[in-house]
Chains A and B, each alone.
Chain A
């Protein structure tokens, strides 16, 4: 009899002993069911459960980890439709400067290959709004695609400014052009850099800005949105923000962390992260990238002032001091009380 169930619910026979209690992100093996070349240097992979079970739901802006080897874990945005319960789709740019992730995906993953996947998680959620300004640079278009589908479905007004080096290197141009007026395709070799000033000149109360792309674009958009209402700009980074990891003035080398729910107090010494200290003490925490970019280890702060060194929280969110990323952020106060 075939077993039907949801992913991660193993058969009894697979369990040899009672494992140690853990809270982890969902991890599962998926199979590449389709591989398409989308543009110069860009492939799209479709990933399915090998036994055809439905995959967990996700919302626009979500990404997954591909666990290509023990030391090679890379994040890719889901670019298919959230309504598709059986396939996750990612777009991957071959980056010669990369640390091996995109090369592996391009060279080693073919139809039929099995790949270990973790997630999805989402730190780029599409918040409900009447109007959206989407800004994508190059492969940063991937999380924006399901956002456009959602904005269309909800009847929201939207505009996409999509820049890239040249037209041939830009994925999904044909599909996007079909939308007509709300889409501006902006190849750099034809038109120069995106006219961010023109796009973002007038701050609007009714509009949320979603931007994904290379660091230079993100920094420029952050600058251009300085006069926009707090919380209007949402960005997604795949590398740590330059300088984000630098300590703020007054950062303490050592401090105390109190886990309020567990009733545990721990000392964080110099050279060790809050995450490492908590994990060693057996406090259940989730973590993934350990670079302050994926948002998995976000934890509510009840008391104390964190020294934020992550690239996930916006300036306004950091200033609220009610949440922190345990993997990189430290403390400005002697004592941090966490909701753990």
Chain B
């Protein structure tokens, strides 16, 4: 299928920890990218392909702030300009690899792979749960064999929880209620749902330390912030006036039409002094993520995104349908088309044309 991801968007390229003194090669939105860090601490992203024979620059080395190709030794500066060729005295004029705008807000390094000038009109979203005071967070990454919209649509419709994650589902909660409110803006979709009172699942009891002999109200909310980020919040009403809040941040970065880098980060705002709580929550979320990945890869293998998106819609899909409209509009604006088709699954322009005439 043709790529169905907007390019004019800040995507997470890597975690801050991943970008160190070495070279990290990663395919992002179909482009080979090499990431590294200068002595000043600044992160750099260049096209991971030497201008000479297309050898991946990530297989080379860093030498005094210059990136040296591991094949014939061409040297590149941080702007991607070739500044030296060992086998000849002169530097070929105007030879360069693409340099991509980078912003870092730990724990993430963000990259802009769209029209370079437009990067200044956008900012990576603020994720205070991952950096702000009062929260403790950790995360897991995966590169899964599924289209990025399958990932978004999976987390936009959590009525899958009792089936896919039965052990983590609060006991007695037979089904996950559909959303009770969906709120839409030009670029975002926010949704909320209220769960009927239920007892604590094992992991909830261990993490919160709340007594198990009672039922608790829970609320779930989430925001599709951009094609790169879906943020979710879970609140358990402990009955003591203090909501026990957890946030799950999914950074979703397409690698190619059928592969996606997923950075799922998990934060909580209680028991911050108890390290074991953080470890327990991390283990639960890592397990949940593995189960999610297995589901998504099975859908991709069976039908791909277009096949999945052509399926029937349920009440629970209210958020999904709004997000599809937003992404379809973004794609239409980028490709220079005049209007998006409302409510259709996002596809690139040529694919949509085929579908229309078919």
Residues of A within 8 A of B (CB): 1-13, 15, 18-27, 54, 56-59, 62, 81-83, 85, 119-122, 125-129, 149-150, 152-155, 231, 234, 261, 284, 286, 298-300, 313-314, 316-317, 322-323, 339
- Whether B117 pairs with A155 at a CB distance below 8 angstroms is yes
Once A9-B233, A19-B180 are accepted as A-B contacts, the answer to whether A57 and B188 lie under 8 Å apart by CB is yes
Check if B183 sits within 8 Å of A261, measured CB to CB.
Answer: no
Closest A residue to B178 using CB positions: A21
Chain A residues with CB under 8 A of B180? 18-22
Question: Which residues of A sit under 8 angstroms from B315, Cβ to Cβ?
Answer: 21
Q: B179 contacts the other chain (Cβ, under 8 Å)?
A: yes
A123 to chain B, nearest CB (A): 9
Contact between chains at B126 and A62 (CB < 8 Å): no
- Flag if B185 contacts A119 (CB, 8 Å): yes
Closest chain B CB from A47 CB (angstroms): 14
Contacting pair A54 B182 (CB below 8 A): no
Task: Check B121–A153 contact: CB distance below 8 A.
Answer: yes
Q: Are A127 and B181 in touch, CB under 8 angstroms?
A: no
Asked if A125 and B333 sit within 8 Å, CB to CB, the answer is yes
Interface residue B94 (Cβ < 8 Å from any Cβ of A) = no
Instruction: Report whether B186 and A120 are in contact in the complex, using a CB–CB cutoff of 8 Å.
Output: yes
Q: Mark B314-347, 1 if CB is under 8 A from A, else 0.
A: 0100100010000001001111111101111000
* Nearest A residue (CB) for B128: A4
* Known pairs A11-B235, A81-B121, A314-B338 / 12 extra A-B pairs, C-beta < 8 Å: A6-B188, A11-B243, A21-B315, A22-B181, A24-B181, A25-B183, A85-B125, A120-B186, A122-B329, A126-B333, A128-B115, A316-B338
Q: Which residues of chain B have C-beta atoms less than 8 A from A122's C-beta?
A: 186, 329
> Which has the most chain A C-beta neighbours within 10 Å: B185, B192, B334, B337?
B185
Identify whether the interface residues of A are mostly helix, strand, loop, or mixed. Answer: loop
User: Would you give 20 A-B contacts (Cβ < 8 Å), ordered by A?
Assistant: A1-B269, A8-B190, A8-B223, A13-B243, A21-B181, A24-B181, A26-B190, A57-B187, A62-B186, A83-B122, A120-B186, A122-B186, A126-B333, A127-B332, A127-B333, A128-B334, A128-B336, A153-B117, A155-B117, A284-B318
**Cross-interface CB contact of A127 among B177, B182, B337, cutoff 8 Å:** B337
Question: Once the chains are docked, how many angstroms separate the CA of A154 from the CA of B187?
Answer: 20
Cβ–Cβ < 8 Å partners of A121 in chain B: 185-186
The count of residues in chain B whose C-beta lies closer than 8 Å to any C-beta of chain A is 63
Contacts of A313 in B (CB 8 A): 339
B118 engages A154 (CB within 8 Å): yes
Q: B333–A128 contact, CB under 8 A?
A: yes
Interface residues of B (CB under 8 A from A): 115, 117-123, 125-126, 128-129, 132, 134-135, 177-188, 190, 192, 194, 217, 219, 221-223, 225-226, 231, 233, 235, 237, 241, 243, 245, 269, 312-313, 315, 318, 322, 329, 332-339, 341-344
Q: A56 and B342: CB pair below 8 A?
A: no
Bound: A339/B342 CA distance, A = 8
* Cβ–Cβ < 8 Å partners of A4 in chain B: 128-129, 132, 134-135
Chain A residues with CB under 8 A of B226: 57
Residues of B within 8 A of A82 (CB): 121-122
Given contacts A19-B181, A127-B333, contact A154 B117 (CB under 8 A): yes
Asked if B219 contacts A286 (CB within 8 A), the reply is no
Please give, as numbers and ranges, the residues of chain A lying within 8 Å of B187 by CB-CB distance: 56-59
